[in-house]
Each structure stands twice: as structure tokens, then as C-alpha cells.
Amino acid sequence: MTSSLQDRSENWTCDAPLTLADAASLATSVHGSLILADILRSCRQSLLEHVELDRLSLLQERSRGSTATIHSIDADPEGTLIGPRVIALEDSRLKQCATDHRMRVVEIEDESSQDSVERRHLLHRGTGVAVYSPLMLRGKCKGVLVLALPKGARFTGSHMSLLAYTTEHLALALENSDMHYLECRRGRQLSMVSEIAKQAVLAEDQADFQRAATELIRISLDYLEVQIWTVSPANKGILLAARAARASRSEEAGTPAMVEECVRLQRIAANNHSKFSPDGELGSELAVPLRLRGRLLGVLFVRSDRLDAFPSEDIDTLEGTASLIASAQDNLSAFEHAQESNEYMQAILESAKNLAVLSMNIHGAVMTSSAGSERIFGLSQKEIVGKEVLTLFTDPRFRREMAVYFANPEISTLERVRLAQREEEQIVYFNVSLQRVCNPEKKPVGFLCIVQNVTENVVLEQQLKSLSITDELTGLYNRRQFFFAITAEIERCHRFGRSVSLCFFDLDRFKEYNDTHGHLLGDQALRETSQLVLSLVRSNVDTCYRYGGDEFTIIMPETTIDKALGIAERIREKLGAHFQTEITASIGIASSAEAQEAEYLVEQADRAMYAAKAFGGNRTMLADQADTADMSNKPPLTA
């Protein structure tokens, strides 16, 4: 039988609380990379400094909920990543944790007490303790962290605190990693579309173009296999025209069922959970019709060895790519030299609805534009044609870069990511790719420019960054940001020989207020406290933080302890008056001195605050007074 430690863990005390240095080190380590493998290695290395660890595993559920992806790292010196492995999420402790979002600490007596998922994927024979911890971020589960500890290893209250702090940072790091992966993928998609459009302009042979297009799609988006099928003359069947696959993948006989379905229904066919080989190989399949002016020319078929590989955004990109391929195939079959045909180029540009695709002559004047140009620049296709392309952008520096690029034939491409573009009273962001186009004799004949509006992505990333450093309830900076800010401020003070004061305060009798008036009014009291403090400190100089619960901190740069005392007293008096003494504040103040460290200053201010509370609260105490205070002779309210 297994013995769960979950019930007993609620009564554990933290025998070695997480220090400021430990917290800062762990946060820096976990957030040191946006690559999943690096994040997991750093997390494992940080945990190894505190607890014995055989294996660390990360579970992430797939969209269907019946399967999951697992990455693991064993206790080898190289920290080799095992996975990703796709498993069925059958009944197990792992599934329970992913469902109810509760931490579990389980003693494992022997291998027979392991459940099937533990035995096959998570634990070793010598595992003595298994720890399951959900990774929660803004009420959503980002995955489950599983730790396998060897027999005889201790997992104490301090380890529980460490793990709770670790999972908080790991959840945020995983979300940032996902955002980074999506942004990189969008960049590869833009480059892929740009290159296929270039090939469509320059290609003289349809078969060469099809082979190049399949290889570009496969490499750019890391697919297992990409195929282009074309409708045979007189619609008597469909033929494989081009194929690109990983070297290890053998060619299969016959037409894939998904391709036949796409041809039969004349629409996109997708399966994000497909079994496409006799040995049970799992992955995703997508078939997109190659259509032009209502006529089916063929099918673009894509296979991935990942489950859920085709979200709606990827399907939209591949649908646009299929339009480019269809346009190119139609024109290449009709014209021997399609790259010289303005009608051909316009057919390609019209297929790009979500991108501005512009062709320019050798002087940089726009000759043709896609339908998406109006959405990007706010100008009709007719208005854009004839303009110098650099006049469409508002950033002066980028205009100068474009001018240099046009004048230097040695530079083949110019790309910019998140280029700021002013539109009336707002700022939008573009990804821009410029490509020099040459004829078969390698002589430049013009340019191709592709522009994508990425404002939504930039704004979302900015919001994620703001959420990671601010407290959701009060709007103040949070404890994580406080650690970074106080360390940076102390270093600056040491460098320039200036002072900084730190104010810690705790709300007296807040629990009684919360119990009496309810949590809603309790939360409102915390918000009002935050606004009151912000109104009394120096804007753009002092910074305020919600340290946790009803504890707050204020960093006061270039402020002596006497000035800090005056500010603290005003806060204490105004706070007591605002809440009619139902809530008051116990305040501790410490000031930096030469060669002091951030951790020392935090401990001094914290100790002074607790001394003020010990003397009855509603008073301000300086750090040096806290060391000599006589508990039998209470100091006045102002210390």
C-alpha cells in the first residue's frame, strides 16, 4: 500500500525557510531561457541544491484531454532530456493531479505500489517518494511537475515551500516559452511565404517549383512530410507531383485517405490525432485543396509527428500558402516565363489576404500590391501602386535603412521584426521582409516586400510581462519584482555613494476587519491602502509593492532615514484616519549604509516592523531602535 503525505504536510513547519538569495537564484535560473529543455534543466539543477532527486518530469495535457506529452530528465551529469513522449492519460495519480490541481507527496514502498503510469514513464525501481505538483498560472493548469526521490530521501516542509515557489516560476516560464515558440514559428511562416512567393516569381519549371515548395514548408515548420498532389488531365484522378520527407521516412504506396477526402469534399480535411502507419504511429494530418477561381488544381498534404499540430492559425497560413502554390502552378503551366507576367504576379498577390505583399521596380516604386495591403497600410491597391515603398513606413531609421538597402546590390534581404508604425494616434507593429529579385542572368529586376501586422502579439506579450511583475488585486508591483528592484537599487547606491531607505508595513487588525466585513470589503481595503500610499509617496521616484497578504513595502531612493520617517508617519496617520482606526499600520524602516547587501536591508526593515507590532502596533520603528527597544517601556507612536 502507498502512504500519502498530503494530509500530514499541512501541519509541517518550514525548518529552513526560503531565503531571499535562494528565491532570487531560483527565479533567475528558471527564467534564464525561453527554450523548454533549458528551463527544465535549470529547474532540476536548482532543486538539486536542496533535495535529492532521481528524475524530474513535466506533463502537459493535449487538447483532447485523453493524451499528454511528457518530458523527463534523469540524474545524469549531462541532464539529458527524455522525450517528448505522447502517452495515454489513463487513471493514475498523474491524472488526478492534472484534474484536481492538488499537490501530492506519496511514499513508494516498492515497485508493486507504483501505478501503471509511474512504472512506465515517471519513476525508477529505487524511487522512495513521488511528488506531484500542478503548475498553476492565473487559475489555469500549465502542466504537472513530477519529482522522483530515491529511497531514504527526506521531503520536508522547507522542500514544500521551495517546490511551491518553483512551480509558480516554472508555470510562468512555460507560458513565456510557449509565446516565444509561437512568435518564432510565425517568423518562420513569414519567411516561408516570402520564399515561396519568390520561387513563384522566378521559377521556370512547375516540377522544380513544387519540389522547392514542399521542402520549404517541411523545413520551415518542422513537419514529418509534405506532399503536393495535382489533378490529372480531364479530372481522371490525382497524382503525386512532389514530396519532401525526413530522411528516415519511407515512401508509402497509394493515395492517403485524407487526400481522397479533401478531393471528394472539396474542402480542408484535418485530423489532429491520426494513426497513419500500421505500427500505430500517431501524429496529425492536414489536406488543403489547391484551388484557383473555383477550380480544384490539387491538394497540399502535410503530416506531423506531433499531436494537435494544426491549430487554426497554422491552417490559415497553409491555406494562404496553398493559394500561392495554386496560382504558381496555374501560371507556370500556362506561361513559359511566368515570372515576367504582371498578371501572374497579381494573381499571387491577390491570394495573400492577411499580408501586404508588394512588388517594386529597381527604384523601389510599387508596381503591384496584394489585397491585404489595404488592411495593413489603410490605402487601396490603386493608391499604393506608384508610391515609393519607403514612404509607406513612418519610422525614420527604417526609411534610411531601406534607402541603403536599395542602393547596395550586395545586400540580398532586409528584415525587421516588431517595427513600430505610427497610425494616427496609435502605434502598430510590423514584421517586414524585403527580398531583392533577380532574373535568370542574376541581374536585379526589382524587389519583393512582405509586411505582417503583429500588433496583437506584441500587446499580448507586454500584458504577460506586466502580469508577471504586478499584483492583480492592488495594481502595485509584486514580491517577485521587489526582489529584483531592491537588489538593483542597492547596487546603484553603492556605485554612486547615495542612500536608499526601505519601509516595511503591516496592517494591524486586518484579519478581524476581514472576518467582520467580509472578503470583498477586505479586498477593497487593500486596494484603498495601495491608493493612499501611492498618493503620499513621490511619483516616479519611490516604488510601492504588495509584499504578500496585508504586508507592503516602499523603496525610497536617495532618501535619508529621517525623511523616510516623515513619509512613513504621514502614511500611518492618514491610514488610521481613513479607516477610523479599525485598521492601522505597524511600520519598520531601514536605511542603507556602505557595503550593505539587499538581503541585510530587507531583514532590518522587516525586524523593525515586527518590533513595532510587538509594541502594540500603530507606530513606526527604526531599525536601530528595534535592536535596543525595551519591551517594558513602550516607545511613543513615532518611535
**Could you identify the residue written with the cell 515603398?**
389
Q: Which of 115, 508, 550, 606 is catalytic?
A: 550
Q: How far apart are CA 310 and CA 295, in angstroms?
A: 25
DSSP one-letter string for 4-16? E-HHHHTT---SS
Residue 269 neighbours by CB distance under 10 Å: 21
Counting Cβ atoms within 10 Å, is residue 279 exposed (0-12), middle (13-18) or buried (19+)?
A: exposed
**Could you identify the residue written with the cell 509511474?**
118
Q: How far apart are CA 460 and CA 425, in angstroms?
A: 20
Is the peptide bond preceding residue 77 cis, with omega within 30 degrees of 0? no
CA distance readout (Å), 564 to 403, 500, 535, 601: 55, 9, 15, 14
- Cβ-contact 326, 297 below 8 angstroms: yes
| CA-based nearest residue to 113, from 59, 151, 75 | 151
| CA-based nearest residue to 155, from 8, 293, 35, 370 | 8
- Cβ-contact 62, 68 below 8 angstroms: yes
For the chain, give the longest Cα–Cα distance.
104
End-to-end CA gap in the chain: 59
H or E, element range at 333: helix 312-334
DSSP one-letter string for 502-557? EEEEEEETHHHHHHHH-HHHHHHHHHHHHHHHHHHSPTTTSEEEEEETTEEEEEEE
Amino acid at site 605: A
- Cβ-contact 510, 553 below 8 angstroms: no
Q: Can you read off the three cell numbers belonging to residue 244?
A: 519532401
Q: How far apart are CA 162 and CA 147, in angstroms?
A: 13
Q: How far apart are CA 160 and CA 131, in angstroms?
A: 10
- Cβ-contact 479, 468 below 8 angstroms: no
Q: How far apart are CA 48 and CA 79, in angstroms?
A: 12
H or E, element range at 263: helix 257-265
H or E, element range at 613: helix 598-614
| CA-based nearest residue to 297, from 189, 210, 368, 217 | 210
Q: How far apart are CA 298 and CA 301, in angstroms?
A: 10
| CA-based nearest residue to 326, from 291, 299, 365 | 291
Q: Among this protein's residues, is 550 annotated catalytic? A: yes
Contacts of 401 by beta carbon, 8 Å cutoff, 6+ apart:
414, 416
Q: How far apart are CA 252 and CA 277, in angstroms?
A: 9
- Residues marked as catalytic: 550
